[in-house]
Structures are given as structure tokens and as C-alpha cells.
Amino acid sequence: MTNPNRLYIVSTPIGNYEDITLRALNTLKSVDFIICEEFKEARRLLSHFKIEKELLSLNEHNQKETSHELFEKISSGKSAALISDCGTPLFSDPGYLLVQMCIAAKIDIVPVPGASSILPALVGSGFNLDKFYYAGWLSPKSDLRKTELLKLKNIKELIVLMETPYRLKAILTDISKIFGASCQTVVAFDLTLPSEKFFRGTVSEILKTVSEKNLKGEFVLLINNKKFD
């Protein structure tokens, strides 16, 4: 059971619905309403698990004004679950403003952990995981992305990057130019899905494979920059 006047941050599957946790299901079933990123993705998930709840959208286009409305609803005594389109909310997803408002008002924030693309990519990479640097999403603009990669080259750690499916070839090309064609890289592709695949090797080898296969799908990209120590 959930408690009123609380915001639950609920992780949902990144592809395979079997990865949802029992706690996540129980939370989604018992809250007063669910805050989602996009209605289409949320309805597909809830329909799969036969959950019927009021859905309210919080996305990058309406975050500022909608956060206040959602906060008022929660502070009036309602319980809410925040989900993203997939995975763990708040990683490059909307919700930060709402969480900050709730914390300032001493409303409990309750994380419900679960699926994430970052940890499966790391543990399946074969790299040493003692330390890593999460760089997140780079700029979609080519010049800015190259500038960001030049800065990252100075970080002598395992670097984790996120990108959209259609920019995989472009970012690998930039990495090859800036980090060198022999840079050891892993692309964790379509994690948790039947098409899941780890591409391991030099960035030039992976770029060749990606180009030949014309790969398009969700991925996490890891650059081993430790060897430059």
C-alpha cells in the first residue's frame, strides 16, 4: 500500500516487461494517480499489466507550469507515481522541478528502484567498473558534440554516454576522430530485448559493423579512456 501525500519515483522496464518489479506493480496499482512522460507509452505499459489509473503528463514542453499543478494535487493529500517512458525517471527526463517542490514542502520522495540501461551496459561491457564517469547525453549539434568530446578526452576513466538511435554512426565517427580509431569501446544495443547485442572492440571496428548492418536502436555507449593514463 502507498501512503498519501507522497511522490513515488517508479522505475519501469527499458524494453522487456518481465523486468518490472513486484514493488513497482503494487505502487502503480495503489497510488491515486500516475505522472507520465508520454501518454502512449504509459498506456501501453499500464494496459499490459491491467492497471487503470488517472494519467497526467509531465514532459519537457509543459514541465514548468504542470509541475505546480501536480504539486498542488500531491500536497492536498494525494499519492502519485512518477514514471518515464522507460527505465529510471529523472535521467535526462522531466520531473526535477516537481521533486524539488516536494522536498521543499517536506513531502516524502520514495524511489522504487528497478530497470536501468546504465548498469546492464556496464556489467555486460567487460570493462573494469571500479570507477566510471557518467557523461549522459551530448549535444545533437555536431560542433558542440565534438567540443564536449574533446573535454571528455581529458577524463581518464570509463566514460558512459547516452544517445538517440539515429545518431549512433555520427557519435562513433566523432569518437574515432577525437579519441583515436583504436579506442576500446562497447555499444550495448537494444538491452533486455531479443535483439540485445554487445558490440565490443575498437571504435573503428564497431563503426564498421554499425555501418554495414545499418543498426538503429536504443543503446548505451562506453569509452574506455583509462588506457591513456
The runs of H, that is alpha helices, within the chain are 22-30, 39-48, 63-75, 96-104, 118-125, 142-152, 168-179, 203-213
Q: What is the pLDDT confidence band of residue 228, given thresholds at 50, 70 and 90?
A: very low
Q: 160 pLDDT exceeds 50?
A: yes
Query: Which homologous superfamily is 118-228 in?
Result: Tetrapyrrole methylase, C-terminal domain (3.30.950.10)
> What's the grid cell of residue 156?
581518464
Read off the pLDDT of residues 77-117 as tens digits, 9 standing for 90 and up: 999 999 999 999 998 788 999 999 999 999 999 999 999 99
Query: Which homologous superfamily is 6-112 in?
Result: Tetrapyrrole methylase, N-terminal domain (3.40.1010.10)
pLDDT, average across residues 40-58: 96
- Between CA 132 and CA 108 the distance in angstroms is 30
CATH topology agreement for domains 6-112 and 118-228:
no
Q: 75 pLDDT exceeds 50?
A: yes
Domain ranges of the chain: 6-112, 118-228
pLDDT, average across residues 124-150: 94
Read off the pLDDT of residues 168-224 as tens digits, 9 standing for 90 and up: 999 999 999 999 999 999 999 999 999 999 999 999 999 999 999 888 889 999 999
